[in-house]
Chains A and B, each alone.
Chain A
Amino acid sequence: MKLDLANPAWRQTLPPARSIAADAPAAASAFSRDGATVAFALGDGSVRLLPADIAAAAPDAAPPLHGGAVLALVGDPAGDGFISGGDDGRLLRIGADGTATELANHKGKWVEHLAAHRSTGAVAAAVGKTAIVVKAGEVREFGPHPSTVADLDFSKDGSRIACAHYGGVTVWSIGQPVTLPPRRFAWRGSHVALRWSTDGKFIATGTQENDIHVWRMAQATDMRMQGYPAKVKSLSWTADARFLYTSAQPVFTAWSFSGKGPEGKPPFQFGEEGAGLLAVVAAHPAAEFVAGGYDSGELQLGDIKTRRSVALKMADGSAITCLAWSPDGFRLAVGNERGDLLVIDLRR
Chain B
Amino acid sequence: MAQAQVPVTVLTGYLGAGKTTLLNRILSEQHGKKYAVIVNEFGELGIDNDLVVNADEEVFEMNNGCICCTVRGDLIRIIEGLMKRKDKFDGILLETTGLADPGPVAQTFFTDDEVKARTRLDAIVTVVDAKHFLGQLEQGDEAEEQVAFADVILLNKTDLVSADELAKVEDRIRAINRYARIFKTEKSQIGLDAILDKGAFDLKRILEFEPDFLHHGHDHDHEEAVKSLSFSADRPVDPDKFQKWMGALLQLRGPDIFRSKGILAIDGAPRRYVYQGVHMMMDSDWGSPWKDGEKRSSKLVFIGRNLDGENLQRGFEDCLK
Contact = CB atoms under 8 A, between A and B. Distances in A.
Interface of A: 23-25, 27, 42-45, 68-69, 71, 87, 108-110, 112, 128-129, 147-148, 150, 166, 187-190, 207-209, 230-231, 317-319, 337-339
Given A108-B54, A148-B58, A208-B60, A71 B77 contact: no
Interface in B58-90: 58, 60-64, 71, 73-74, 76-77, 81, 83-87
Contacts of B58: 147-148, 166
Contact of B61 (A109, A128, A189, A319): A189
A337 B1 contact: yes
Contacts of B81: 69, 71, 87, 110, 112
A208 B73 contact: yes
A107 to B, nearest CB: 10
Nearest to B78: A110
B114 interface: yes
B56 interface: yes
B86 A147 contact: no
Nearest to B55: A148
Interface residues of B, number: 24
Interface string B103-137: 00000000011100000000000000000000000
Q: Which 3 A-B pairs have the closest CB atoms?
A: A189-B63, A24-B86, A44-B86
Contacts of B64: 209
Contacts of B61: 188-189
Nearest to A42: B86
A340 to B, nearest CB: 12
Interface string B36-62: 000000000000000001101010111
Interface of B: 1, 53-54, 56, 58, 60-64, 71, 73-74, 76-77, 81, 83-87, 112-114
Nearest to B65: A209
B214 to A, nearest CB: 41
Nearest to A23: B86
B36 to A, nearest CB: 11
A25 B114 CA distance: 16
Contacts of B56: 128-129, 147-148
A163 B54 CA distance: 21
Contacts of A209: 62-64
A328 to B, nearest CB: 29
A246 to B, nearest CB: 17
Nearest to B113: A230
A25 B86 contact: yes
A69 B89 CA distance: 14
B113 A166 contact: no
Contacts of B71: 208
A231 B113 contact: yes
Nearest to A112: B81
B60 A166 contact: yes
B54 A148 contact: no
A236 B54 CA distance: 31
